[in-house]
Structure formats: C-alpha cells, structure tokens
A and B are shown apart, each in its own frame.
Chain A
Amino acid sequence: MTDQQPMLVARDLNMHLVFDNEVAKVVDNVSLVVRKGEVLGIVGESGSGKSMLALSLLGLPPQPYGKIVGGNVTYRGIDLLNPASARTVVGKRIGMVFENPGASLDPCYRIGDQITETIHAHEEIDKRGARERAIELLTLVGIADPVATFSSYPHQLSGGMQQRTGIAIALSGNPEMLVADNPTSSLDVTIQAQIMRLIEDLRVRLGLTVVWITNNMGVVAKVCDRVAVIYAGQIVEYGRVRDVLKKPGHPYTQALLQASPRIHDQQPLIPLRGNPPSFTDLGSGCRFAARCPKVVARCREADIELRALRAGHEARCILMGQSS
C-alpha cells in the first residue's frame, strides 16, 4: 500500500575508487527509485558493492579514494551530490543505521550525549528538551530502562541495545526515510528478529520509507516490498519481491536463492564455480559469465543491459524466458 511518490531517485550513478594505478568501478550505472512508504531491499554478497552503493546513494563516496564520476541522485528533487543541499537531507530527512553498532558509537561518550548531540544539530532546542526527546527516542526503540541507558557508555550495552541506540540516533532528526546497512548481521539470531520487528513497527508507526541493505534473501523475503540484486557493482535484477524471489530471471539471483540458508525445506547446496571478478579488471560482456551455469558464447560479446521480464521486473540476462 505505497504512495507511488518517488523519494530517492538515482540515475546512471557511477562511483569509482581511484587508487595510484588502478580504478575500481564499484558502482556501475545504477538507476533506482525508492517510493514513499515502501521497503526496498538491496541484496548482494559481501564485496558486491552494496554498501558502497548505499553510501553513494546518499552522496557520500568513501574517502579518500571514492569519487562519484557520473549520474545523479536526488531526494524529493534535492540534489544529493551537492554537499550544501545534501547536508539538509542526509542525517536529517534520511536517517542511517549502520552495520556494526559498536563501531558507529563513540566509546568515550555516554549514549545520552551522543543522541542529544544529533538532536541539537537538527533543531533549536534547549538542553532539557533535548534530554527529554532523547529519552523519548530510547523508549520508542524499545529500550527497557531509557533513563539508565541515557547515562550509560556504549560498552555497557549489549549488541542489541547498541543497535537500538543506533536506530534512535537515526530517528533523532525526524526522518522520512531510513537507510539500514546490514543492521542485524553482527547480532544474535533472536536479537536479529527483535530488531527486524522493531524496524517494521517503526516503519508503520512513523510512516517511514526504508532501504534495507542485506546479504540475506530471507530478510528480503520477510521485510521488503521490492528488491535490487547487486553483483560486481551492477544491478542484475530488480523488481517486486514476490516476482524476483519466486520467479528469478538472472542466474545469479537463482544461485543466491538456492544457496540461501533455510530450515525445513533444505535443498542440496550447489556452489558456484570461480570467484567474483575484481573491480579493477571487469572487461566487457556479462560479468557473471565466468561463473554462470547457463553461459553461452553470446554472453561475453557485449555488455548486457537490463531487460524487462514482466511489468516492474527487470534482469540483466539475455537468456531470460528460457527454462531453468
């Protein structure tokens, strides 16, 4: 039940990591639209470039080597590649939740100070007001004793509580959108379920749009409305979750699904041969060709474009429509 209004729009985004004698094309001609109220998943294995993509979507190529070399990204019309205008959006109207909560919290400052610091950065408010708001946020994210947590240091909190704090900080600017980069991968399984439930609840209560970056197809199936599959810096498949996960068009998506951890209906695990290509040495033709079980000669001839499989579902494969 989404609004169809585009919030974050990326067109032909290109981000390169420029080293002394090599260039790594980690984000290659990515176009995406995130619509109001939906949950978009960006899924890929580690090293696929999905985190780089997330940062690039916010106009934050990793320093010192990252450079956005082409395309544009706008948030409700505001150019995110322009640092001045981006500053009004990123961190305020778009909140970010990071992968390793322990790493994004400063160990030297109390939790309360870290939240109020962000609050003060986003609005004119006095100290008491900021404290009240911080405690409100801590309650909102399900922390049992927000007052005690306010005065605690990060190392005194468990991983789950640290991540809840990270979410509270992301919410402190009253964002309309949340970008969550693998927020549960470092947490225990039962805590992962709690955090996923929390983000879903917050989405409903606060009317948030969510971009969820993950390497787990199960997470995509559970929480996302639409999904983009990333391989070697490119989107290789894009569409509604039901379409992509039940009727995948790209062999890599099929392989990811087939190898996804699941219990009860286990299938034999068939590993992909070979290794992912190095970003500095991509060549032309399909980037998945070296590992694809269905590869034919035509695959290596020229770069493959995204093609429509059905309405709202695209994949970067010339063999689509063939029986798997």
Chain B
Amino acid sequence: MRFLKKFLSRPSTMLASAVVVVVVLLAITAPLVSPWDPVRVFSGLRNAPPFIPGHILGTDQAGRDILSRLIWGARVTLVMGTVPVVLSMVIGTLLGLIAAYYAGAFDFAILRLMEVLFAFPLVLLAVLAAAVFGNGMVNAMLAMAVAMVPYVIRAVYAAAKPAMELTYVEASIIRGASASHVMLAEILPSIFPSLVVFATSMIPLFIIFAAGLSYLGVAIQPPTPEWGLMIAEGQQVIQVASHVPTVPGLVLLVVCFCLNVVSDHLQRELDPRMRQRHGARPPAGG
C-alpha cells in the first residue's frame, strides 16, 4: 500500500494512471456505457461531424457512431495489446531462464536462434507469422507473441545471467536445489521487478502494433471495431471528414502515452527499491 502511495505521489503519474484506468473500465463495461451498437448503421448520417445530437464524436464513413466504436474497439485493442505480451513474457521468461541457467549448449542454441529472428523487423515477422497462421484476432495475437519472444528472452537472459552469480543462488545450488527451483524460486524473484517494467512498457507498443496490423488488414476484419482499423478505413475520407481517422488516432496516442508514463514511473519506483532491499543494513549503536 505504501508503494502505491509513493507511486501515485506525482501528479503526472496520477493523471496517466487515471486515464488508463478509465479506458480499461470503459472497455470492460462497454455493453453498459456504449450509447449505440458499434456496427449499427445510421443511414443518412455518414461522416457526420462531432457534437451533433446523439453522436458526440460524429459518425464514420459507414454511418456508425464513432464513440461507440471507440468504446467497443477499446476491448479489442487492449486485449490485442495485452494478451500477446503476457503470452510472450511467459514463454520468453522460461526460455531466458533456461538459457541463463544451463549456459553451454542451451545458451548458445537459444540465443543464436533468437538472433535469426532479430534479423527481421518486428512487423514483418508478425505479418509472416500471420501468413502462416491465417487472419483473425487470435492468430494475429499468436503472431505478435511469437515475434516478441526473442526480445523477451534477451531481456530475461541479460537479467538472469548476472543473477546466477548471486551468493544465495550459489548457496541454493550447493544445497542441491533442482534446476527448476533455482530458476523459479531463486532467480525469478530477483529479476521480477525489471520484467514487470519491461512488460508494462511493451503493452503500449503492442497496442500500436495491433493497430498497425489491423491497419494492414492482417488482424481484424471489418466491421469489428478496432482503433487501428478505424484509422485505416477513415483515411479514405480524411479530406471530407477529418475527424473519422483523427479521433481514433488521438485516442490511441493518448492511451499509449499514458501507459508509457505509468511504466516509466513504475520502473523508477521498483528499481532503486530493490537495490535498497538487497543492501540494507539495520542501524545499530554498538
């Protein structure tokens, strides 16, 4: 609790966290708060500008309410941003721990394999993976997770390798701890904060990533609302109704920015505290 208090002590963090929380809540309660059905077409009201009665953000090129599509689209976007991160963190952490613990051949094999994947730009990798898995939200998420795994492994390996030299890790090995115990109960807790920070900084990246894939037509298909898709489709009418692609674009920008701020401040809070915890000595008077 004290941690939360300290974390939220800066106004910028409070604001950014509030934004994120609001967006998440809206996404969760979409059926309740959304004014309209996101795929409902209001014939005769295409490209309607914002602030007209009933449609505070206007309508898009097909005549659908933008606000509703934003709220429902939040679900898709947030899920597509978070699930692949979680998935790749789980897989990547395991592989990274294994590479750090076993060293030798494992180390070599896993890292060299990852280097092959690093050679490809992230988006290209995802597109290729999507080509293999096929279109659709689930497949897109799988593709993104796979593309992300090498980066996770690299981050985990970089943190876990020096952790192998920690005295208490050596002590555990000497007392006959199994490999899984050392990796999960000794090393993982010590690198956990940096992994949390890493993951939370990846979420906004993945949201953009997902939006980008949808933009490319790889992930989400119309009429499903998704922020990236809304931007892509709205591009066609940018001359006559600039709000159609711009509003989702701005929303995307703001949400990702706030997520970045939260992750940044999380890092600042977690890292020095961990360092302090390890080195702390109780004050004494003798």
Where the two chains meet, the residues of A that have a C-beta atom closer than 8 Å to any C-beta of B are 24, 44-45, 47-49, 231-233, 275-280, 282, 287
Distance in angstroms from B5 CB to nearest chain A CB is 14
25 pairs, CB–CB < 8 Å, chain A vs chain B: A24-B283, A44-B286, A45-B286, A47-B283, A47-B285, A47-B286, A48-B285, A231-B285, A231-B286, A232-B285, A233-B285, A275-B284, A275-B286, A276-B284, A277-B284, A277-B285, A278-B282, A278-B283, A278-B284, A278-B285, A279-B283, A279-B284, A279-B285, A280-B283, A282-B285
Further 14 A-B residue pairs, CB within 8 A, beyond A45-B286, A278-B284, A279-B283: A44-B286, A47-B283, A47-B285, A47-B286, A48-B286, A232-B285, A232-B286, A233-B285, A275-B286, A276-B286, A277-B286, A278-B283, A278-B285, A279-B284
Which of B's residues lie within 8 Å of A, judged by CB? 282-286
* Shortest distance between the CB of A135 and any CB in chain B (Å): 39
| Least CB distance, B2 to chain A, in whole angstroms | 12
Q: Which residues of B contact A232 (CB under 8 A)?
A: 285-286
Contacts of B283 in A (CB 8 A): 24, 47, 278-280
> Using Cβ atoms and an 8 Å threshold, which residues of chain B touch A287?
285
CA separation between A275 and B283, bound complex, in Å?
11
Across the interface, name the chain B residue whose C-beta is closest to A25: B285
- Kindly list chain A residues whose C-beta atoms are within 8 Å of the C-beta of B285: 47-49, 231-233, 276-279, 282, 287
Expressed in whole angstroms, the Cα–Cα distance for A277 and B286 within the complex equals 7
Q: How far is it, in angstroms, between the C-alpha of A233 and the C-alpha of B283 when the chains are bound?
A: 12
Q: Which chain B residues lie closer than 8 Å to A276 at the CB level?
A: 284-286
Q: Who on chain B is nearest to A233 by CB?
A: B285
A298 to B282, CA, bound (A): 30
Which residues of B are found within 8 Å of A280, using beta-carbon distances?
283
Residues in A neighbouring B282, C-beta threshold 8 A: 278
Question: Could you say which residues of chain B place their CB within 8 Å of the CB of A49?
Answer: 285
The answer for the CA separation of A276 and B284 in the assembled complex, in Å, is 6
Q: Shortest CB–CB separation between residue A68 and chain B, in angstroms?
A: 19
